[in-house]
Structure 1
């Protein structure tokens, strides 16, 4: 059987990620090797690592999307709109769209269970939160209209959102579906941004 073309590109990256995700969800993250993913995807292990420097990022493949959401909330907001307001609006938009980063996407239970069963994935999730915090800090420092404490602001926003997502994941697993969790998730998001507004003085 001919091997898939290994020319780097979005289609190759997507195929590798899709194959890896299916294998991880079916067999467990720690039970699947990068070599097995490469063979199933029809590429070499070198190509896999070219697109995904860490094995964990084969499953956590939306970090760039998360960074772009933060960037968009900062750079695309209308004049006079506070950063926290823009971030809050983006968070609720993700929820309304049932986006993969909202925590309530349909079919998310196997993903949550796979992450919960792997110490390596849990550790990588914490690292990603730290990376997103640093990215938001940089965006804030580059924003001439932001006058607050960028480090504190970014840390509280990312930590708060991560806490909401973690609880949502727990509830989704317990309920067997995201549907019964959506309203509670919305309420906790509202409480989070209300607390941030009061604590950070940002509207």
Structure 2
């Protein structure tokens, strides 16, 4: 399989020789999916020590996902079938479903790290720092670093074009955002000792998630225009400042860690 992405580069994945032992050898053309594989790995890379069996299962899962991502980028999400992904990965259809119960899981295969991210920022905030301040600090650091985690990378326009072209992917993205807000709400409630019936964790979580989702949507739109990541990064910092200015003191001073 060969795909040409922005900049004219072509990439391909070598099929495994045996179904039980994927060949992960990389050719110069592999980067069509390697780029997006790296973004997914950045979403969560906190794996604990694993045994040989678990490692092989993870590698097989990642291989199938990489092959599927390449096909989605080449043909569009709706045009690719599970049978086609299985054939290209040299595995059975049942094997694909064993690793990915839904087709959308192949595209958003690292969503677990995404839905926990804001909650992790809050739980890891510094002494004297509020929940919102911690999230803003982390987001600014990512933007300043021109991080692929936020979509600030060459080729991200192709990734977002696939999302925009498939209703089911847009729906799944919305669901991921809802999970992220629910996890953040729980973290805020636990960190502040909020009692049942206290709406503040929900309200503050909504405001913080608004900042995050607005930033991500804006970056996605700008990258689809073909703009340079560094240029988008500079303007994203201004956007973050503007959004912080719109947040109330109640949000900015909520859940301040007391061990400053």
Structure-2 residue corresponding to 1:16: 64
* Secondary structure, counterpart of 1:142 in structure 2: helix
Q: CA RMSD in A?
A: 2.4
Return the offset for 1:91: 1.0
CA contact (8 A) 2:115 2:177 kept: no
Distance 1:176 1:134, change over 3 A: same
Distance 1:154 1:45 in 2: 40
Structure-1 residue corresponding to 2:231: 180
Return the offset for 1:148: 7.5
Distance 2:187 2:98 in 1: 27
Aligned pair partner of 2:171 in 115, 118, 123: 123
Return the offset for 1:196: 2.5
1:90 equivalent to 2:141? Answer no
- Matches of residues 12-161 of structure 1 in structure 2 within 5 Å? 12-144=60-192, 149-161=200-212
Q: Please give the per-residue CA displacement for 1:35-86, whole angstroms capped at 9, x wherever unaligned.
A: 2112222333333233333211211233212234223212222222211111
Comparing 158-167 and 79-88, the one that deviates more: 158-167
Structure-1 residue corresponding to 2:44: none
Distance 1:54 1:153, change over 3 A: farther
TM-score (norm 1): 0.86
Return the offset for 1:28: 0.5
Return the offset for 1:106: 2.6
**Residue ranges of structure 2 left out of the alignment (5+ in a row):** 1-16, 23-52, 255-260
CA contact (8 A) 2:63 2:89 kept: yes
Distance 2:110 2:247 in 1: 25
Distance 1:65 1:151 in 2: 21
Return the offset for 1:201: 4.0
**Residue ranges of structure 1 left out of the alignment (5+ in a row):** none
CA contact (8 A) 2:146 2:233 kept: no
1:196 equivalent to 2:238? Answer no
Q: Which has the larger radius of gyration?
A: 2
Between Structure 1 and Structure 2, the one with more helix by share is 1
CA contact (8 A) 2:144 2:233 kept: no
Distance 1:119 1:133, change over 3 A: same
Aligned pair partner of 1:3 in 10, 19, 33: 19
TM-score (norm 2): 0.69
Distance 1:104 1:21, change over 3 A: same
